[in-house]
Amino acid sequence: MKKVIIILFIISLILIVSTNNEDILIPNDAIRFRVIANSNSVYDIKEKMVIKDNLEKEIYELIKNETTKDGVKNILNNNIDKIKEIIDKYNIQYKIDYGLNYFPNKNYKGVIYPAGDYESLVITLGEGLGDNFWCVLFPPLCLLDNDKDYSDVKYKFYVQELLDKF
């Protein structure tokens, strides 16, 4: 009887450990978007979010009808000047980098996105010493951050639905 209890305990433990929230991961062929603030001052963080919001709107309009990674990549590379025009409206130095860039771990709504080098469009404002915002441009997951009403279950279902679509 003790063996059965021990075996059931081990099986339960394995199920608990293996059933986590990492079942929805960003696909390997995703393109990420990241904006890094100059510093963590209130002004710099606010400026980062204003610039991010304006960039996100413009980029969304550019890529909204594209369904392939290569298509999105070409659109981004061909529209760097539009991206620069948006950032140039602000009195800040910046750097734009499209390619493989390092991203730290992120836990968002119970889903863990592992650190690593990912294809991405990274905008570094000023010294780039502040907190960053990042999301996924392709498949288009950036818009999820703007909807604060998603419960974790709705979020995971919607992310999975988008990933299946692309």
Kindly indicate the confidence band of residue 155, based on its pLDDT and cuts at 50, 70 and 90. very low
Kindly indicate the confidence band of residue 136, based on its pLDDT and cuts at 50, 70 and 90. confident
Other residues' Cβ atoms within 10 Å of the Cβ of residue 87: 18
CB 72 within 8 A of CB 63: yes
Higher pLDDT, 1 or 17: 1
pLDDT in tens, 64-110: 899 899 999 999 999 999 999 999 999 999 999 999 999 888 876 67
63 vs 141: CA distance, rounded Å: 12
72 vs 141: CA distance, rounded Å: 14
**Least confident window among 1-5, 53-57, 139-143:** 1-5
**CA max distance for the chain:** 73
Beta strands 94-103; 31-36: pairing state:
unpaired
Tell me what pLDDT residue 1 has: 62
Q: Which tokens hold the place of 19?
A: 């059933």
pLDDT in tens, 48-60: 999 999 999 999 9
